[in-house]
Amino acid sequence: MRIAWGVAVAALGLVIAQVAWDDPKDPGDEARADARRLHCLSARQRPGLVEAAVRLGVAAPGSTATGTGFRPKHGDRVTAATTLDAWNRTSRADFDWACTALAALTGPKTVQDPAPKPTLWRRVAANPTFTLVLGAFLTLGTQRSTERSVRRQALADQLNTAAAEYLKAAHAARLARAADKATDRAGLEGRRVDLGSAILRAGLPTAERRNLDGLLGTAHDVLVGSAFRPRPAEEAVRRLETALGRAVRGESVVEVVAP
């Protein structure tokens, strides 16, 4: 089971890595960028391109779209006057910034960037391999839960059987001693060992397991001790029976304290 979980986790990691790394560049990006530049450098859009550049701080106020009347800016420094075509070639990043803003307002959809790609987790969720891995996780989780449930039920059944056998022997021993008759001490001791083992395997919290062990030890000592007294023996067996019943039902047995 641990190996299966490890394989599933590794597969999930590979899916995420594949989706994160397998992000090829859209072949249409370059074509859109070229179309956008042609749009911005058209005679109709050149004045708007200059205005956008000035507003975005990459051109000095007073720049014009005609001749060499365009004056680029780099930070606070105004560089030599040039043409828009030359600016496109020498300062591509600044040109594209102003041009993209202008195209978003004036250009057709063909020159505008598409909607952002989905987030990484959306792309991972849409990956077919992720669906398979998720299904494997769900299957493993269900299987593990079922196995735990079956194991708990099996241990509860073992505890129930061992408790019934011991209590049957304990009641017989109590009645026999109360009537001054012989008791099957070897049989009672064997049932005690079986019950103690079942308590240990039941997976109970430490406090509850210790309490059950204490109740079992008290009842057993009263039943086989030399100074037998019927009423304390009956009370000890009753307490043990109550605690074992609660343990089998999955209830706390801490409240049932040994006398």
The pTM for the full model equals 0.47
Three state DSSP letters for the chain:
CHHHHHHHHHHHHHHHHHHHHCCCCCCHHHHHHHHHHHHHCCCCCHHHHHHHHHHCCCECCCCCCCCCCECEEECCEECCCECHHHHHHHCHHHHHHHHHHHHHHHCCHHHCCCCCCCCHHHHHHHCHHHHHHHHHHHHHHHHHHHHHHHHHHHHHHHHHHHHHHHHHHHHHHHHHHHCCCCCCHHHHHHHHHHHHHHHHHCCCCHHHHHHHHHHHHHHHHHHHCCCCCHHHHHHHHHHHHHHHHHHHCCCCCCCCCCC
- Could you give the CA distance from residue 200 to residue 213 in angstroms, rounded to a whole number? 9
The third-level CATH classification (topology) of the domain covering 151-248 is Four Helix Bundle (Hemerythrin (Met), subunit A) (1.20.120)
Per-residue pLDDT of the chain in tens (259 residues, 90 and over written 9)? 555 545 555 555 555 555 555 555 566 678 888 899 999 999 999 999 999 999 999 999 999 999 899 999 988 899 999 999 999 999 999 999 999 999 988 888 877 766 666 665 666 666 666 676 667 667 767 777 766 776 777 778 888 899 899 999 999 999 988 888 888 889 989 999 999 999 888 888 888 889 889 999 999 998 888 888 889 889 999 998 998 888 888 888 776 554 5
Where in the sequence of the chain do the CATH 1.20.120 domains occur? 151-248
CA 123 to chain centre: 18
Evaluate whether 111 touches 35 at the Cβ level (below 8 Å): yes
